[in-house]
Amino acid sequence: MEPLTLTTGRLLLRPFAPDDADAVHAACQDPAIQRWTSVPSPYEREHAQHWTRVVVPDDWHTGRSLDFAVVTPADGSLVGAIGIRGTGPVREVGFWTAAGHRGNGYTLEALTALARWAFTEQGCGRLEWRAEVGNAGSRAVAEKAGFRVEGVLRAALPNKGTLRDCWVGGLLPSDLGLPGADPYLPAGD
């Protein structure tokens, strides 16, 4: 897939570039990002360089994962990361927010824009969000964006060599007032 940029009222969502390695490295020094995400711990500069120079471009090329740097348009400051994984009608969303930018609604704004794009431009019929049980910040963002927490999956989230229980939530196009690309037949009561 060709890289593209999404815009919101306050943000740009653009593919990560090699020049982002230092900002990614700095953001991923945050103990909360290392605790709640699958980034390596300790997070070394080489991890950021490999991710921005190799992993992200390769994933965009194949379409298996589309990761965006969430930046402010005025100065290009890295607010966080957000992306979708998968190529079928059901895809998974993931995100993190740099410590100095939490509490400003940036991740909610980025997640809403990404979801609308996935549903309207990518033919996605369902977005799934997963987070380790206890990651209240991620859950709050997902719920504000309209995700319905559907339960706990046991041992479904691998992180640093350990399988962890996770919350799982779903967002459908209809949750945002959008038509779906495919018909949906809900289970009867």
* pLDDT tens figures, 54-77: 999 999 999 999 999 999 999 999
Q: Residue 188: its pLDDT value, please?
A: 80
Burial 76-88 (b: 16+ CB within 10 A, else e): eebbbbbbbebbe
CA–CA separation, 52 vs 20, rounded Å?
Answer: 7
Residue with tokens 């966080």: 80
Of 21, 27, 188, the C-alpha closest to 101 is 27
Here the tokens at position 34 are 């290392």
- Stretch 76-99: mean pLDDT, rounded? 96
Cα–Cα distances (Å) from 103 to 76, 97, 106, in that order, read: 19, 10, 8
Q: What is the 3-state secondary structure (H, E, C) of 107-122?
A: HHHHHHHHHHHHHHHC
